[in-house]
Structure 1
C-alpha cells in the first residue's frame, strides 16, 4: 500500500497528462478540419466549445472533499469518549464511508487512514485496525510532507482544510472534529496500534486452543465409539453363547425325555400284552402236580 501511494505522489500529475491529451486531440481535429476546407472561424468556435466542455467535465469535484469532512464528523462522534452506546451497523456505516473515500481518492489524507484504524479498533476488527494504523504511524511515506504531487481531490481537500483552520467559526463542528482526530492520532495512535496487535495475537491463540480442544474432543468421541462397538460385540457373543448352550441343553433334555418316554411306552405295551394273553406264561409240570395234590389236602 505504501509503495503504491508513494508512486502516486511522485509521478507526473494526472491533470497535466489530461491537458496534454486534450491539446493533442484538439490539434489533430483542427488540422483535419483545415485540410477538409472548413473556415478558420468554425475551427475557432469549435475549439472554444471543446474547451468549455473540457472545463465542465474535468474540473475537480468537491463531492469527495465534502465526503471527507462529513466522515470526520461522524467518526469523531463514534470515537468520542462519552456514555453513548453505538450499534454495530452504525459503526459499519461510518467505516464504509471511509473505505469509499480511500477507493475514490488517489493518495488520501493520512488522517483518513488513522480514523479508519481507530474505528476498526472500536468495532473489534483488530486485524484491519493494525493494517491502517501501522501504515499511518510506522510508514514514513504516510507523512504529510511526502505528498509532493497531489491529486486534484487532495489539493481541493487541503484548500478547504486550511480555510477551516484559519476561520474555525465558519465550521466549528468540523474544526473541532479535525482537531480531536489529530490529537488522538498524536497521543493515542501508538497505544491503539499496540492494543490491536495484542488482540490479534490473543485471537490467534484462542483459535489455536479451540482447534486443539476440538481435535481432543473428536479423538475422545472416536475412542468412545470404538469402546461401545467392542463392548457390543462382546455382549452379543456372550448372548449368542448363552442361547447356544440353552438350545443344546434343551435338545439334550428333549432327547432324554424322549428316550424315557419310549422305554415307559415299551414297558406299558409289554404289560398290556401280558394281561391280554393267558398263555404268555405257562406253568411247569411240577407246579401243576403240586397244585393238584395240594387241593385235596386243603379240602380235608
Structure 2
C-alpha cells in the first residue's frame, strides 16, 4: 500500500512539544507536470481502442460458430472503433506525422512505441475484415484478417492500461497491477454492449456473456485497485473523476442485470447494451481526470514517498 496517513508515532504517555507537521509543497506548486493530453481526444482514444480490440475477439468467435450477422456487427464495430480511436490520438498529437515518427524504431520497453506498432498492424486487419463482411467479397482474405485482428485484439484492449501506468502520475502509476485488467474488462463490456444493441434475435448470447464477464472483471479489478492504493485513490472518489466513476459503476451494474434478465426482451437488451457502453466510456473519462487531479496535487506524490522511506528506516 502506498497511501496511508502520515505522522510521527508517539509512545504511550508522551506529550507533544510541537504540533504534528502537515504536508505542504513549495508555494503550493505541483511536484509533477500534469499530462498535456486533452479531453475528449485521449479518453475517447482509450475507450474506443478497448471497444475495438474486444469486438475483434467477439467477431472471430461469432464467425467460427456460424453467427454471421453478429460477426458483421462486431467487425464493423471494431473497425469503426479503431478508426475513431486513431483519429482522437492523431488530433491530440496535432499532426499525423507525429504518429508515423513513432514507427521509426522498435522499443519493447516503451508502451507507447509498442502500442503504435500494434495499432499500425491491427487497424488494416480490422478494416479488411469489416470490408469483406460488408461487401461479401474475398471471404478467405476476410477470414484471415478476422483471425489476425482477433489475435491482436486483446493486446490492443490492454496496452493503454500499461501506457498510462508507465507514467509518473500517481493515480495511474500506482495502479499498474490492476489497470490493464480494468481496461480489458471495460473494453469487453463495451464490445458486448454494442453487439447487444445491434445483434439480431437469436445471435446475441455470446455478446451478452462477453458484456457481463467484462463488466464484472472491470468492477472487481477497479475495486481491488482502490483498496490497495489507499490515499492515492482519493481522486477516484472525489471531484469530477469521482462523479464519472460513480456513474460508470451504476450503469455497469444496471447493464449487467439487464443483460442477464432481458434475454427474451429486445428493449431490455438494447437498454442494457447502451448502459454498458456508457459505463465503459464513463470509466475511461473518470480514470483520465483522476490521473490529472493526482498529478496536480503534490501530496499524492510526496506523502507516499515519505511513507516508503519511513518503512525502510
Q: Quick check: TM above 0.5?
A: no
How high is the TM-score relative to the length of structure 2? 0.24
Q: Which has the higher helix share?
A: 1
If asked which structure has higher relative contact order (CA below 8 Å, sep 6+), I would say 2
